[in-house]
Every structure is written in C-alpha cells, then in structure tokens.
Amino acid sequence: MRPLPVGHAARSLAAVGLLELALAVRGRSALDSLGEVVIDRAPLPLIELGVQLMGTTDKPLLRLQSLGVLVAGGTAVGARLAPERGRASRRTTALAVAGLGAVAASRAVLARRAPRTSADLAPSAGAPAPDDGADGWASTPLVTPVEDFYVTDVTMRAPVIDADGWRLEVEAADGTRAAVDAARLAGLPLQERQALLACVHNRPGWDRLGQQSWTGLPLPELLAALGLPVPDAADDSLDLVMEGADGLVMTLPWPEVVARRSWLVTAMGGRPLTAAHGHPARVLTAGLPGQYGGPKWVTGLRLRPAGSVAASWVARGWPRGPVVVPLMARIDSLGTVGMPPRLPRRPVPVQAHGEVSGVAWAPAHGGVAGVDLRVDDGPWQPAELAADLGADSWRRWRAPLDLAPGTHELAVRCRAGDGTVQAGTGRPPYPSGADGYHRVRVVAGRA
C-alpha cells in the first residue's frame, strides 16, 4: 500500500501559509481570491443553497475550502513528482504547524488594516433619536446596533479605502463630470434619515436586515450641489450606473432613483461607515435590497442611456429588476423567550397566557399598515402596532397569547399601506425575493 503523502501535504500547507502572510502585508489574500472565483463561477442554484445552509458563516467556510484546494493541489503535484517512501517525521509536523500559524498570522495582519478618515461626516443638523413608544415591549430594538447590523457582499474581504485619498466621480447625462472627495462631501448639507436595509436573500424569520439612522444626501441633490444638470424625475430614458471599488456595477432607472429617494450615504448611527458597510460612501435606496440599490465603496455615479449598461447581477442570472424588498412580518420574542435567527427544530416552551412581539416591514409598499397573528388554523387577529416612523422603516408590533395546553403553530403576516397583504406561498429569494409566513411551533404548559 502506497503511503499517504503527508510530507507533501505539510510542505504545501507551509507554502500556502507563507504565501498568505506575504500577500497580507500588501493587503491581499490568495484564499480570498480563490473564494471570489468560486462565488463568481458557481451556478446560481448552488449559491442560493450555500446561503441557505451556511448563513453568515459562508466566508469562513469558503476560506477553509480554498485552503483545502490549494493544499490538495500542492500535495498532488508533489506526490506525482517525488513519491514519498517514508513515514511522517517531526519535521513534517513542524511544517504543518508553521503553515497553520502563518495562515492565522495573515488573517491577523489583514484584520488590522482598518480604514482611516480625517473628515467629519456628522450631519449638518442631527435628527432626534427615534421613538415609536414601544421601548417597554419585549421586542427587537428599534434601531439595530452597528456592530449587530448584517453584512453581506460578494467580496471575501472589505476593501480598505483611505478617505483622504478617495474620490467619487459623478457624470451627468450630457457627459459633464464632477469629482467630490470626503472633505467636500462633508461640507454639503448632509441629512439624516431612518431606513431599513435588507439582503435579497432574506427569508421569513431571518435576520439579514436591519434598521439604522443614515447620514447622506439624495442623489438628485448631490448632482445639483456639484453643479451638474439634474434630469426630470420621470425621465425613463436614463439609468443611473453605480460603480463600486469591489468591481460591482449596479443600475437603476432614473425614475426609481427619484421615487425611492436613493441616497449617497457616508455614516450610520452618527459614525462614519465601517469598511464592511461601505466606507467611505455607499448608496442606499429605500425599498430595494442592497444587491439592487445599495452598492458599497462607491467610486462612480454615471447617467447612461437606459439599458446600455448591464448590472453585474444580470450576468449572474438575476433579472434586470429592480427586485424590491418583500413585505414581511417576523416573530422576535415569545414573552421572555427571544427567537434565534433560524427556526428552532423543537417547539419553543411558552406560557399559556403571555405575549408575542416582533417587527414588520413594507418599504416598497407604502409602509406597514397592519400585522396579523394566527394560532394554528384559527382566524387572523390584528396585533397592536407601535408608532409609525415612515414607510422606509420597520414597525414593531405585539399581540397577546391565550393558548390551550399543548403544541401550537404561530404564524404572522404583514399588511401594507398600499393594500398588499403578505403572501404565504414560501417563495425562495431567487428571482424576485422570498415570501411566506414566519411560522413558529410552541408548546404551552398548563397555567
């Protein structure tokens, strides 16, 4: 029996580790590059399955997969060129340990490469803290803390951009151009707004969305501030082409930009954007997932003839769109029991007489007009709503529970301001956004 090429594997691991460490000093990574190739080339159904199964652990798992591919490739080449005859030695073990250590050190080096900014990006007139009157409810925080805000993109690692050297080029429909840097942008009349941002892959009960206070400027006002001609709001002969430092290109019909109040955003929660959220600037479009209206690390905004530029997502199989954020309601708390971001496999123990609460959103449908709760196959019952902060924001809700002992299924739905009622068909995210009720199985004890 031919011995396993343990020595070649150890040498390959050591070589990959040293390569990673050398590249990390320059802000690069072979593991990340290989992971991005997988993201770019993998069939869309496989990507959707990966998001569903791996959730927010997709990037660490892709890096681990990339490490395995590189080590396996090096091992195969080494074994073919020089077959091993002996057993693994202490030197082999040392090489393997050194390789793993170098990989870990490279991740630490990359983690320390934080963005820097010397510009004050505070709003010209700070908005008061939002208050929906529901702080005493056992529900989700009205504003998602920045550190808990979901992060998703197709880059394995956020670009590190120094705001002092960043430039945004804006091009009007007639070809005239203007550039703005962080310092000049900070001098414009920045505004603050509450808005929800969601991932196109978000499913019923998931937490790939959040609500925050954003600082920035509507894009038509940005054009005007830079002295560029602003198209008519109904001019459907133009697309806004948005370019990011990660190479992604997104497009929106100009009427959508105006109607949905697309913003150039520089801060969230009163602080400059983090690298993961698009530092130094990103676009935010109410009612559209980030994939369609929220490019991060934005470097270019250009008005082009409609349909003349294909968005990156079209090449990956998504419709030209834009796909909107589906209206949805979510159960976040069952009395004192908080819900995990994925459905538990077993029924959740609850008190027979208690309260259920959560959030609902419908930014593409005129905001939340109502939330209904259903127990088993019973009728839909309206829930109590917190104050409305506007169509762009989510809305907290709560409802009493009065359950007979035993196992039950709770379901919740959203009713929107434009009359749309959330569907319960269970549609997957691709190609037009997920729908379906958030259903939770509970078991009530005797009172």
pLDDT in the model for residue 315 = 82
**CA distances to 191, 239, 247, 267 from 57, in Å:** 35, 35, 23, 26
Q: Give the whole-angstrom CA distance, residue 61 versus residue 77.
A: 24
Q: 348 pairs with which residues across the strands?
A: 442
CB proximity list for 306: less than 8 A, separation 6 or greater:
236, 237, 238, 239, 253
Q: Give the whole-angstrom CA distance, residue 398 versus residue 331.
A: 9
Nearest to 143 by CA among 55, 215, 209, 216: 209
On whether the CB atoms of residues 38 and 63 are closer than 8 A, the answer is no
Domain 328-444 of CATH type 3.40.50.2000: no
Backbone angles phi, psi at 192, to 5 degrees: -130, 140
Paired tokens of 315: 């090449």
Instruction: Measure the N-to-C terminal CA separation of the chain; round to a whole number of Å.
Output: 67
Domain 146-315 of CATH type 3.40.50.620: no
Residue range(s) of every CATH 3.90.420.10 domain in the chain: 146-315
Helix (H) or strand (E) holding 186: helix 182-186
CA atoms within 13 A on the CB side of 304: 16
The residue type of 124 is S
Paired tokens of 273: 């954007």
Q: 416 pairs with which residues across the strands?
A: 368
On whether the CB atoms of residues 364 and 288 are closer than 8 A, the answer is yes
pLDDT in the model for residue 80 = 56
Residues of the chain where predicted confidence (pLDDT) is lower than 50: 1-2, 4, 78, 114-126
pLDDT in the model for residue 264 = 98
Q: Give the whole-angstrom CA distance, residue 396 versus residue 194.
A: 14
DSSP assignment letter at 421: B
- Bridge-based pairing state of the strands 249-253 and 368-375: unpaired
pLDDT in the model for residue 123 = 42
Paired tokens of 102: 């170098």
pLDDT in the model for residue 126 = 47
CA atoms within 13 A on the CB side of 128: 4
- CA 112, 117, 119 angle in degrees (round to 5)? 165
Q: Give the whole-angstrom CA distance, residue 173 versus residue 156.
A: 34
Q: Give the whole-angstrom CA distance, residue 272 versus residue 277.
A: 10
Q: Give the whole-angstrom CA distance, residue 238 versus residue 255.
A: 8
**CA distances to 82, 92, 233 from 308, in Å:** 54, 56, 19
| H helix count then E strand count, the chain | 10, 20
pLDDT in the model for residue 254 = 97
Global pTM?
0.78
CA atoms within 13 A on the CB side of 102: 26
Strand blocks (E) in 174-222: 177-181, 191-198, 209-218
Q: Give the whole-angstrom CA distance, residue 24 versus residue 169.
A: 29
Residue range(s) of every CATH 2.60.40.650 domain in the chain: 328-444
Nearest to 296 by CA among 239, 221, 242: 242
Residue with tokens 């040293």: 18
Strand blocks (E) in 233-345: 238-244, 249-253, 263-268, 271-272, 282-284, 298-305, 328-334, 337-338
Nearest to 328 by CA among 414, 395, 432: 414
